A and B are shown apart, each in its own frame.
Chain A
């Protein structure tokens, strides 16, 4: 089912990867590869984790115009890093092994998002617009709070945060790649294992209970996976608000089925194509200096308003 579409997407992705690795290369493979391969791997990881986080989030909130980033997840992560720098110091933080740092950050992130979004958002599920508005305002709050704390921090330590709070695809910190890869793959595997339960959860609370699924437990587990995926991708490239929204919307058009076994890979493929292909074109063909995330945000804002309008139609 939809195997052909998925195969086609995979083919396009391979082409994009080849393009990313070879376009504009003036030296041999052995010289280029160590430079570009880790970046490519990072882009692929981020692509898959952003799309998966979005699809999972849309499933538990029962809505297709949502993405964790609109609700402020990304900025929550950045804020947590800032608070950490503020309390224990940037250099102490930089000295921590990346795995420990990630583990701590993701744990706090999971706890905070459960507290905040679990109670606030899932309870307010009926009143969609109010819920989104809350998320957008929370996002602004985290952003402003982050800005405020940054001003209170020693300029030397400031550089540590700046690395975390900027969406950047051209300069990717390859040092944390193995850790991030491990965590992302774990998150993706968890999502994939849940794929049939997700189909059930997507039917809504009552239907899920009737089908023998505990929705509360399910939502909780999904939120944990989302929090991990968001932390990893934000730590890697910074906040990208609308990427998840766009790719999930495209995936719904390309593979219009409610099954997560199709939806998850399809969204992931679209997401990776967008990032790798977009970055290849931007960097090597157009030679634009603007980060891809900015362009994705412009397009994504428009898509969001469009989706919102469409969801209003009876």
Chain B
């Protein structure tokens, strides 16, 4: 039921998104006027699709990360996966200047994986009695990677370049410049297929192994999927923080943690939330735009604080 209402809402938002922009577009033009059709085909529709895919996939990646790390307060953009991907793009652009997008993508995935893996190594040494330590170390770790990035960027005079693609926004999305994002869709579907195995991983290593799960393999697959999704979004639209943190928390408050059931809802909520924020970003200072990542930064931080203080102690 909730899923159907959500679908209708997201569809309505998508239509609104198609008709939002600097060039006025009436519904009549959208069907008959060749200029209107071209506008939709080249700019509006790709942008809307890009937002939907990004939102859905970031939310799914966050849900998977929270299950793997068994912690409600983590998500790829705050524990170094996103920063790792950005670092990879930076390496790619000064090792192979003018590298095609796919090469940058591969670099980003490898470094995102490495960054996440290192984080898992650090986290494994933390005492399980202090669940809030995981997000804290994650935030500092992400900040460390970012500072490293700034250092390199300064040396090679690429600070502005970095600034443009680390602040997540969709204004650059046009036909022919976002298609890589579609790769995220089958990856997300694959995560859905192994949702049950992921849920078992969430029970802990010993439990998963004694239930006959190939723990290492499933873990590796999940991490790879998350790294690919995150790298795709960082390469095409930049970093949008907190999506992966908020959406799974909102959904699981009501529908619990059965990933197989909740993942579609998580994806839909993520898509809708990011799309709503993107429309807001386009309208709030019309005709200029505010990066959607900034809006999510503000919104996400407030909700994070709410989660931090509202959750009853015994529920953590």
Contact = CB atoms under 8 A, between A and B. Distances in A.
Interface of A: 129-130, 132-134, 136-138, 140-141, 143-145, 147-148, 151-152, 241, 288-291, 294-295, 297-298, 301-302, 304-305, 308-309, 312
Contacts of A301: 140-141, 143-144, 147
B290 A152 contact: yes
A312 to B, nearest CB: 6
Contacts of A133: 73, 132, 135-136, 139, 308
Residues of A contacting B: mostly: helix
B127 A141 contact: no
Given A129-B130, A290-B154, A294-B147, A137 B137 contact: no
A159 B111 CA distance: 35
A312 B127 contact: yes
Residues of B contacting A: mostly: helix
Given A138-B305, A304-B140, A305-B141, A148 B294 contact: yes
B151 interface: yes
A309 B137 CA distance: 10
B6 interface: no
A136 B147 contact: no
Interface residues of B, number: 39
A289 B130 CA distance: 40
Contact of B290 (A138, A151, A308, A312): A151
A301 B150 CA distance: 14
Interface string B125-149: 1110010110111011101100110
Given A141-B305, A297-B144, A298-B148, 17 more contacts: A130-B132, A130-B308, A133-B135, A134-B305, A140-B139, A140-B301, A141-B298, A143-B297, A144-B301, A147-B294, A148-B298, A290-B150, A305-B122, A305-B137, A308-B133, A309-B125, A312-B127
A132 B298 CA distance: 18
Contacts of B139: 133, 136-137, 140
Nearest to B78: A140
Interface string B189-214: 00000000000000000000000000
Contacts of A297: 143-144, 147
